[in-house]
A and B are shown apart, each in its own frame.
Chain A
């Protein structure tokens, strides 16, 4: 299933975001490549999650704008935006007792109305989302009864059911072990193959290198590097971001950069 017609573009224009008087994102201009997986990486507190919530209109810009197809998202009605852009916040919580199927059905909200509560299209899309996330067998299980990876896939399935061409994920793997992380990343790759634009905040540079097509490295609210991981990730960049030294190898399988012999910088 291919979501929506022409691939929409998401970009920022001298975007500045603040918490109170503290400026977190400084005059940032970035364009997110359509149909690809973009990872936003950077040290703790660099503003990567803030940037993501700015992109999703959760955070009102102090100046500048986020542009969806060239239009300022502040001017879009909430429901219209929700048909273009889905967001999975960090550590999402659901009401107790909700089943996987019920959670995914909430993703249809922007497409429903008072007199359009459950259409054939809704049913088809929810079934598709269940299948895409590989959760058919668990559809009637309550979320509490799932493993961490399964639960995270259920949340992503909810955003799939939203049928948006753009998908923003905030640290989708932060609380998962390696096996469950791979489950989620492979689902994300699969979504990009379907033509979706995925933007995710990651604290782990290694998985960003492995699973992202495009990397945006943030430091103190500014972009220090962006581009394909194989091109932009250098020992110097790793040092700028995390104050560590490392040797870069090339993954024999995928060609993506691998970080080796990482140690604290003595400089």
Chain B
């Protein structure tokens, strides 16, 4: 009798234990709950990407405090943080809130947008060197912005013209490949050509005007955060917010589009439709960022590269790319502002000088072994 009862209780226990227990795949946390309609819901969170993103976010915050404190008037972090909230000396509040904060915001937003656009396009093209800069969007924006400065006849502000230029370059590239499908590499080749044409146009315009006018157009040819327009920054902030949400939606299909098209189709992904949407997202993000900072597209190469070296290959590192891009941009602009003060080096040049060799090193070093 006694043993029977204990058998029964054991089997009931087993039944209860065995049915709902689901182990998360290695490297993930699983959150499961019941929806109000009674459907079983589950989310997977990749541990490494959470850790990496948190780390990058903390690093970005530290660098931001540093950025707000350093400059012609140096402030200790203990003075920066109260000044952010309007406490402390008037002059430090003014310096932090009015002078440095808007520029910091522009640096974070442009860096994040370039890097997010970069990681999207690299995933689509299955090529870690593909960035929106390479497909001519930067050059289109520059050509139009320079045109608006050089030709007195045009009364539209350069950022608006940069936006129009980016859209024109993208439309041209889309138009040129329309006949041959939306194959990633074809798009890149066409974009490369379009970019070359716009680059040549910029040079032609600069060569034909007085040196003063050419000087005024100079920041648009290298990329700088000095001459920002508030409207353009606001637009970028909205665009990037939408872009982050959209990136969340494309994350799953995009992680499958890293395979060959046939594999992704076989798994039920409408590759063509997703490719077009992701391409548009990448183009819009780049265009908005170029309208603020000019052609600093190299961040779109460096940000994702840092993110990939820190992340696992289970998914596409969106968040880490975004944060790395912002981090690189803030650091570069900080260096540009302070290294040769009072002379300022445009952020585009800092990134090219430091980023170029660093990128070379990244690309030339032997691959990580996964054994």
Q: Which residues of A contact B (CB under 8 A)?
A: 53, 56-58, 78-83, 85-89, 92-99, 101-102, 105-107, 109-110, 114-120, 123, 140, 142, 144-145, 159, 162
What's the least CB distance linking B7 to chain A, in Å? 26
What's the least CB distance linking A255 to chain B, in Å? 34
Also in contact, A94 and B26, with CB within 8 A (given A56-B265, A87-B265)? no
A92 with B25: CB separation less than 8 A: no
Residues of A within 8 A of B367 (CB): 96
Residues of A within 8 A of B28 (CB): 118
B25 with A110: CB separation less than 8 A: no
- Tell me if B22 counts as interface (CB < 8 A to partner A): yes
A117 with B44: CB separation less than 8 A: yes
Also in contact, A89 and B266, with CB within 8 A (given A109-B256, A142-B370)? yes
Q: How far is the CA of A123 from the CA of B30 in the complex (A)?
A: 12
Residues of B within 8 A of A159 (CB): 266
Residues of A within 8 A of B266 (CB): 56, 82, 85-89, 159, 162
Segment at the A interface, from B136-144, B167-175, B267-275: B267-275
User: In chain B between 11 and 43, which residues have their CB closer than 8 angstroms to a CB of chain A?
Assistant: 19-26, 28, 30, 35, 39-43
What's the least CB distance linking A147 to chain B, in Å? 14
From the candidates B40, B260, B265, name the one contacting A92 in the complex (CB within 8 A).
Answer: B260
Also in contact, A58 and B267, with CB within 8 A (given A102-B25, A106-B256)? no
B22 with A119: CB separation less than 8 A: yes
Q: How far is the CA of A58 from the CA of B268 in the complex (A)?
A: 11
What's the least CB distance linking B321 to chain A, in Å? 15
A78 with B370: CB separation less than 8 A: no
Q: Which residues of B contact A (CB under 8 A)?
A: 19-26, 28, 30, 35, 39-44, 252, 256, 258-263, 265-270, 312-314, 367-368, 370-371
B43 with A95: CB separation less than 8 A: no
Residues of B within 8 A of A89 (CB): 260, 262-263, 266
A-B contact count (CB 8 A): 106
Q: How far is the CA of A86 from the CA of B368 in the complex (A)?
A: 32
From the candidates B22, B39, B314, B368, name the one contacting A102 in the complex (CB within 8 A).
Answer: B314
B262 with A117: CB separation less than 8 A: no
Also in contact, A115 and B42, with CB within 8 A (given A87-B262, A92-B263, A93-B260)? yes
From the candidates B20, B258, B259, B268, name the one contacting A81 in the complex (CB within 8 A).
Answer: B268
Please name 6 further chain A to chain B contacts, defined as beta carbons within 8 Å, in addition to the given A85-B266, A95-B258, A118-B42, sorted by A numbering. A81-B268, A92-B263, A93-B259, A93-B260, A95-B259, A101-B25
B42 with A117: CB separation less than 8 A: yes
Q: How far is the CA of A159 from the CA of B314 in the complex (A)?
A: 18
From the candidates A87, A101, A115, name the one contacting B35 in the complex (CB within 8 A).
Answer: A115
Also in contact, A118 and B44, with CB within 8 A (given A58-B265, A78-B268, A101-B26)? yes
From the candidates B40, B256, B265, name the one contacting A116 in the complex (CB within 8 A).
Answer: B40
Which of B22, B26, B30, B263 has the most chain A CB within a 10 Å cutoff?
B263
Residues of B within 8 A of A114 (CB): 252
A53 with B371: CB separation less than 8 A: no
Residues of A within 8 A of B40 (CB): 116, 119
Also in contact, A144 and B370, with CB within 8 A (given A95-B258, A102-B314, A118-B22)? yes
B33: nearest chain-A partner, CB-CB:
A115
B22 with A123: CB separation less than 8 A: yes
From the candidates A87, A96, A106, A119, name the one contacting B370 in the complex (CB within 8 A).
Answer: A96
Residues of B within 8 A of A99 (CB): 26
A112: nearest chain-B partner, CB-CB:
B252
A83 with B262: CB separation less than 8 A: no
B269 with A145: CB separation less than 8 A: no
A97 with B312: CB separation less than 8 A: yes
What's the least CB distance linking A247 to chain B, in Å? 39
